[in-house]
Homo-oligomer: A and B are copies of this chain.
Amino acid sequence: MAKVNIKPIGDRVLVQHIEEKEQVRGGIIIPDSAKEKPQEAKVIALGTGKKDENGKVTPFEVKVGDKVLISKYGGTEVKIDDQKFTLVREDDILGVIA
């Protein structure tokens, strides 16, 4: 798993996409820009926590190392040392892959 020195703020979670192998259709390799953004990702770091109205921090429903499904359009991509990561709010995590 990637080692990244980023601490997400609030209810955010840092995830790393699990790249599918380059898709091939009819022998022609589809270049990167034409591929659909991947949906599987690994949780790399949890945020500082979402606070409720009384200032109490709500625990995360995922943990570091979880393989998760994230919304195609959720989050913000960040690039660190040529690796792509995404900072998503926990609500953009759709499910955990067992």
**A78 contacts B96, CB within 8 Å?**
no
The complex is assembled from copies of this chain, and their number is 7
**A10 contacts B69, CB within 8 Å?**
no
| Apart from A6-B97, A9-B93, A78-B94: 17 A-B pairs, beta carbons within 8 A | A5-B97, A6-B69, A6-B95, A6-B96, A6-B98, A9-B62, A9-B91, A9-B94, A9-B95, A9-B96, A10-B91, A39-B78, A45-B95, A69-B78, A69-B87, A76-B94, A78-B95
Q: What residues make up the interface of A, taking CB atoms closer than 8 Å to B?
A: 5-10, 12, 14, 39, 45, 47-48, 51-53, 55, 58, 61-62, 69, 71-72, 76, 78, 87, 90-91, 93-98
